[in-house]
């Protein structure tokens, strides 16, 4: 089993927590970390990063991926878009390398119990997806926040989780289709109906037959579905959802902004357990370098001469083929976009 | 400057001091069993402790340097001036968070070691030896170990240690009591400068490091060590106890289970101080997300080593506690026995209640979360208009509720029957003993029974529910709060109470356990 996540360096504390939580239950799985960022040796020593001691089996840098004009591609994206776009391309690379069953998890996820049922499900299905919501609520606030502003806007499925079996036809085809879309159209562009990698997967039920929607609420529990998922403990101390399903993994969406905790408080209806889990996650972040790393700037937000890349620069470069051809590595230029435009 | 009693009155009246919140967030205060508001006024605010979820001591001092410089208790300043002047009691966006996520033992997290007392330091083992020879009254002596000084603090364990000393002395045996000099809510796990405070027959003679203590004890001749009684190991370095057992005299030792500290440093077995967890497997989700989890793992291995290398007799005040301990700790080499701290001797009957009067229900003990105080408040709120019931709170600590009549009761070594008398005098019919975590023994259980009360408890209350399962006529064990509310809305409860008192309210005497009487018999 291969499992991976995708980050910029400020998300390293989260990726550490995720990888450790996966390894606790599945030490034999291979954990790949894709980093869309650049790091000098000085950064590494200042921020206490030693990839020989990190809990990842393999670290892959975005500019080492085998894609056309990698720096031009990166330049088109904001940090969130780029980390997301890398998911599809890296999935294709893992398949090329021979990986069969592959799981993607967002870095702000932590695993709480073993994920073996996924291994079995991938024997029967090519693609596994988790919807944001499994049950509807008729409470206005939940309709507004979780359906209208959440799922209908950002996609039915939450792509914090994805699993495929590349040896099945639909698994391989999905990876090629999705990877290609993410290479070309992984933008948070609501006006165009896009939201990075997620909205694309609304098309999965149309294009592919061999997919499976995981309806077990123990997967991908998060603030947006908490009003329909009650967390409690068994006598043996296992966290369970709705008194029945073991909590497999929890998604700490909105952790850095504080919105996640706020929404969790709102939707936990007085239940302390989700708040205890959040408190644990915040302690883990602290123990994994969050205070130093959370505020590190994204290196691809700057030209190589240190000038900040503006949103306009990206937009123009994204749209103008001539610029893309003239400046295959726009980072090397000294603010070239403004000069030409 | 206001006199302390005046400050006490102002704060108490304001409702901005929540004793339950204060005790929950300050395990050292909880453990010392002192009045929480007095503690806050005397030292708590200076140590940056929060009086309630509504007022933030540190925030107020930071935002108001004038108050900070004045040396005035910030809560007093807020109540007298700040409120009128529009100063904020705390940062607004913190309020929502505090209500939930911050209900944790912050001082545990910080793992602070605070000195309990600062007596004279004893510089050498020779000096200690001289003092021991001077102050130990008798030739035979017992070493007793617990987490704090029983001389200044009053609580269940301290009372027992105190009585044990009196009984030993009465039988011509000296009582050498040792406790850690600094408060630490966990075991001491590493060898370092570990200082022990030494009491001889009730007199503190100073502090000394572990090596100095052991060297002096080895030379304490011709005195004879009779036994070692371990009442609590919080804040102690187990290796020192191990060495006392092995290097000083040929004794077996007794290990008392007054609570579940040898299962988990969260000795009420409350995960994150929020909910009873039962001490599950250390690799469980519960221990993973619990603030006590990591230190529990370390303590578990320290205790395992300690128990596997000693031959102590394990004494539990109830079979419930012993069985729980066996299940969780299980050192096969050790034998365990149940020794109740007191027994009931049923005597006669008191007059039953007047059926025309409301049934009187009492919350017995400290108004804190783990004793079920929030459930009590909800119960009173739900039945506020039901005239069949009248509510009382019997404790030395005021619970800040107008729904019930507070009866100030302080049990002490001199007045051990204070609670029984108060329950009888106020004609309490039902004792509400809603502990959310297992009571290892529960004095209040026995006091309530002795005073003729019918009991209501829940399934997690340890020895209380265990007693009622064996004696179902004396009270009810309920599954949860819903069942409690249902019980109060129906008519059954009153008829149960009437049945219990049918031939008069049963009365009992409390016969306290006496180690030395027992050995003579």
What whole-number distance in Å separates Cα of residue B446 and Cα of residue B475? 13
Chain A residues within 8 A of B103 when measuring between CB atoms: 272
| Distance to chain A for B36, nearest Cα, Å | 25
Taking CB atoms and an 8 Å limit, are A261 and B101 in contact across chains? Answer: yes
Of the candidates B110, B117, B119, B118, the one whose C-alpha atom is nearest the C-alpha of residue B27 is: B110
Averaged in consecutive runs of 10 residues, what is the pLDDT profile of chain B (521 residues)?
78 82 76 82 88 83 83 90 76 38 39 51 92 95 92 75 92 96 86 88 92 95 94 94 92 93 92 89 97 94 91 92 88 81 92 94 91 93 94 90 91 87 97 93 95 96 95 96 95 96 94 70 37
Question: Does the B344-512 domain belong in CATH 3.40.50.2000?
Answer: yes
Q: Which one of B100, B287, B289 has the shortest CB-CB distance to A265?
A: B100
Q: Which one of A112, A272, A278 has the shortest CB-CB distance to B285?
A: A112
What whole-number distance in Å separates Cα of residue A242 and Cα of residue A218? 9
Q: What are phi and psi of A211, to 5 degrees?
A: -115, 160
Residue-level pLDDT at A338: 55
| pTM exceeds cut of 0.90 | no
Q: What are phi and psi of A324, to 5 degrees?
A: -60, -35
Chain B residues within 8 A of A17 when measuring between CB atoms: none
Q: Which one of A247, A262, A278 has the shortest CB-CB distance to B285?
A: A247
In B12-170, where do the E strands start and end?
114-115, 140-145
Q: pLDDT tens for residues A14-66?
A: 999 999 999 999 999 999 999 999 999 999 999 989 999 999 999 999 999 99
Residue-level pLDDT at B110: 43
Question: Does the A2-216 domain belong in CATH 1.10.3470?
Answer: no
Q: pLDDT tens for residues B209-232?
A: 999 999 999 999 889 999 999 999
Which of A24, A279, A282 is the best substitution to test chain B (most B C-beta atoms within 10 A)?
A279
Residue for token digits 């959310």?
B436
Q: What percent of chain A has pLDDT over 70?
A: 98
What whole-number distance in Å separates Cα of residue B165 and Cα of residue B176? 9
Taking CB atoms and an 8 Å limit, are A237 and B272 in contact across chains? Answer: no
Q: Which one of B97, B100, B286 has the shortest CB-CB distance to A233?
A: B286
Q: Is A276 on the interface with B (CB under 8 A)?
A: yes
Taking CB atoms and an 8 Å limit, are B287 and A237 in contact across chains? Answer: yes
What whole-number distance in Å separates Cα of residue B458 and Cα of residue B479? 6
Of the candidates B280, B346, B335, the one whose C-alpha atom is nearest the C-alpha of residue B313 is: B335
| Distance to chain B for A233, nearest Cα, Å | 7
Chain B residues within 8 A of A275 when measuring between CB atoms: 100-101
Taking CB atoms and an 8 Å limit, are A233 and B272 in contact across chains? Answer: no
- The ipTM is 0.91
Residue-level pLDDT at B56: 84
| Residue A249: its H or E element | strand A249-251
Which of B269, B285, B295, B374 is the best substitution to test chain A (most A C-beta atoms within 10 A)?
B285
Q: What are the residue boundaries of the structural domains of chain A, listed by start?
A: 2-216
Residue-level pLDDT at B245: 94
Q: Which one of A233, A236, A283 has the shortest CB-CB distance to B281?
A: A236
Residue-level pLDDT at B58: 83
Residue-level pLDDT at B119: 54
Of the candidates B337, B146, B128, the one whose C-alpha atom is nearest the C-alpha of residue B241 is: B146
Structure tokens of A253? 């969406």
Q: How many CB atoms lie within 10 A of CB B507?
A: 18
Taking CB atoms and an 8 Å limit, are A236 and B287 in contact across chains? Answer: no
Q: What are phi and psi of B493, to 5 degrees?
A: -55, -45
Q: Is A265 on the interface with B (CB under 8 A)?
A: yes
Query: Sign of the CA dihedral A196, A198, A202, A207?
Result: positive
Label residue B356 exposed, middle or buried (CB < 10 Å: 0-12, 13-18, 19+): exposed
Taking CB atoms and an 8 Å limit, are B277 and A237 in contact across chains? Answer: yes
Taking CB atoms and an 8 Å limit, are B291 and A283 in contact across chains? Answer: yes
User: Which CATH code for domain B115-341?
Assistant: 3.40.50
Chain A residues within 8 A of B290 when measuring between CB atoms: 276, 280
Q: Which residue positions in chain A have pLDDT lower than 70?
A: 334-341
Chain A residues within 8 A of B278 when measuring between CB atoms: 235, 237
Q: Which one of A239, A265, A272 has the shortest CB-CB distance to B285?
A: A239
Q: Is A280 on the interface with B (CB under 8 A)?
A: yes
Across the A/B interface, how many CB contacts are shorter than 8 Å? 59
Q: Which one of A238, A265, A272 has the shortest CB-CB distance to B284?
A: A238
Label residue A193 exposed, middle or buried (CB < 10 Å: 0-12, 13-18, 19+): exposed
Q: By three-state DSSP, how is residue B209 classified? A: strand
Q: Is A239 on the interface with B (CB under 8 A)?
A: yes
Taking CB atoms and an 8 Å limit, are B280 and A262 in contact across chains? Answer: no
């Amino acid at each position: 089993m291969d499992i991976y996540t995708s980050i910029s360096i400020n998300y390293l504390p989260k990726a550490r927590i995720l990888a450790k939580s996966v390894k606790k239950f599945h030490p034999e799985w291979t954990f790949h970390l894709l980093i869309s960022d650049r790091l000098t040796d000085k950064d590494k020593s200042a921020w206490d990063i030693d990839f020989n001691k990190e809990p990842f089996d393999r670290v892959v840098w975005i500019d080492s991926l085998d894609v056309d004009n990698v720096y031009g591609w990166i330049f088109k994206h904001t940090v969130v878009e780029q980390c997301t776009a890398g998911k599809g391309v890296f999935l294709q690379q893992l398949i090329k390398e021979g990986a069969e069953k592959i799981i993607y998890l967002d870095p702000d996820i932590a695993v709480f119990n073993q994920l073996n049922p996924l291994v079995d499900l991938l024997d029967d299905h090519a693609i596994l997806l988790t919807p944001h919501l499994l049950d509807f609520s008729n409470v206005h606030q939940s309709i507004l926040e979780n359906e209208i502003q959440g799922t209908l806007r950002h996609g039915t499925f939450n792509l914090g989780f994805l699993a495929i079996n590349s040896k099945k036809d639909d698994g391989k085809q999905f990876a090629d289709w999705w990877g290609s879309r993410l290479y070309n159209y992984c933008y948070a562009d609501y006006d165009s109906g896009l939201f990075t990698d997620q909205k694309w997967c609304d098309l999965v039920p149309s294009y592919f037959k061999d997919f499976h929607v995981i309806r077990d609420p123990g997967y991908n529990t998060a603030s947006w579905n908490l009003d329909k998922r009650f967390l409690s403990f068994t006598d043996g101390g296992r966290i369970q959802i709705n008194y029945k399903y073991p909590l497999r993994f929890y998604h700490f969406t909105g952790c850095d902004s504080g919105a996640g905790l706020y929404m969790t408080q709102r939707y936990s209806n007085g239940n302390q357990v989700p708040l205890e889990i959040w408190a644990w996650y915040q302690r883990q972040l602290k123990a994994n370098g969050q205070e130093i790393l959370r505020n590190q700037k994204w290196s691809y937000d700057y030209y190589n001469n240190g000038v900040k890349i503006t949103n306009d620069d990206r937009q123009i470069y994204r749209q103008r083929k001539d610029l893309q051809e003239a400046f295959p590595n726009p980072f090397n230029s000294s603010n070239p976009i403004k000069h030409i435009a | 400057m206001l006199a302390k009693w005046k400050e006490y009155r102002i704060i108490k009246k304001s409702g901005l001091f929540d004793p339950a919140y204060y005790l929950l967030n300050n395990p050292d205060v909880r453990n010392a069993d002192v009045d929480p508001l007095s503690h806050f006024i005397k030292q708590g605010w200076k140590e940056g402790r929060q009086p309630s979820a509504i007022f933030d001591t540190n925030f107020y001092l930071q935002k108001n340097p004038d108050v900070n410089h004045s040396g005035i208790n910030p809560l007093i300043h807020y109540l007298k001036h700040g409120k009128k002047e529009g100063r904020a009691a705390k940062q607004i966006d913190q309020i929502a968070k505090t209500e939930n996520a911050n209900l944790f033992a912050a001082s545990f997290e910080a793992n602070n070691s605070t000195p309990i007392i600062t007596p004279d330091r004893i510089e050498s083992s020779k000096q200690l030896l001289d003092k021991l020879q001077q102050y130990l009254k008798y030739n035979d002596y017992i070493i007793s170990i617990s987490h704090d000084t029983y001389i200044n603090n009053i609580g269940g364990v301290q009372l027992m240690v105190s009585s044990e000393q009196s009984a030993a002395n009465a039988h011509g045996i000296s009582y050498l009591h040792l406790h850690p000099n600094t408060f630490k809510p966990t075991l001491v796990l590493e060898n370092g400068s570990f200082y022990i405070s030494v009491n001889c027959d009730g007199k503190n003679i100073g502090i000394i490091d572990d090596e100095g203590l052991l060297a002096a004890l080895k030379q304490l001749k011709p005195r004879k060590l009779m036994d070692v009684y371990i009442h609590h190991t919080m804040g102690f370095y187990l290796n020192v106890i191990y060495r006392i057992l092995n290097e000083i005299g040929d004794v077996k030792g007794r290990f008392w289970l007054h609570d579940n500290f040898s299962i988990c440093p969260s000795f009420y077995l409350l995960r994150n101080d929020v909910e009873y967890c039962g001490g599950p497997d250390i690799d469980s989700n519960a221990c993973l997300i619990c603030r006590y989890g990591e230190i529990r793992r370390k303590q578990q291995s320290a205790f395992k080593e300690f128990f596997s290398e000693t031959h102590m007799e394990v004494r539990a005040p109830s079979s419930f506690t012993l069985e729980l301990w066996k299940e969780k700790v299980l050192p096969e080499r050790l034998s365990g026995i149940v020794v109740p701290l007191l027994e009931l001797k049923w005597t006669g009957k008191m007059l039953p209640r007047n059926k025309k009067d409301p049934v009187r229900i009492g919350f017995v003990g400290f108004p804190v979360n783990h004793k079920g105080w929030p459930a009590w408040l909800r119960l009173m709120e739900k039945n506020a208009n039901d005239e069949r019931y009248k509510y009382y709170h019997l404790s030395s600590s005021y619970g800040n509720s107008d729904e019930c009549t507070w009866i100030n009761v302080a049990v002490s070594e001199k007045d051990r029957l204070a609670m029984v008398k108060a329950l009888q005098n106020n004609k309490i019919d039902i004792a509400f003993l809603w502990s959310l975590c297992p009571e290892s023994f529960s004095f209040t259980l026995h006091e309530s029974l002795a005073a003729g009360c019918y009991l209501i408890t829940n399934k997690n209350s340890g020895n209380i529910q265990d007693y009622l399962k064996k004696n179902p006529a004396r009270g009810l064990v309920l599954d949860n709060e819903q069942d409690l509310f249902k019980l109060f809305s129906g008519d059954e409860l009153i008829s149960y109470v009437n049945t219990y008192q049918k031939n008069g309210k049963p009365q009992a005497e409390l016969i306290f356990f006496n180690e030395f009487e027992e050995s003579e018999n």
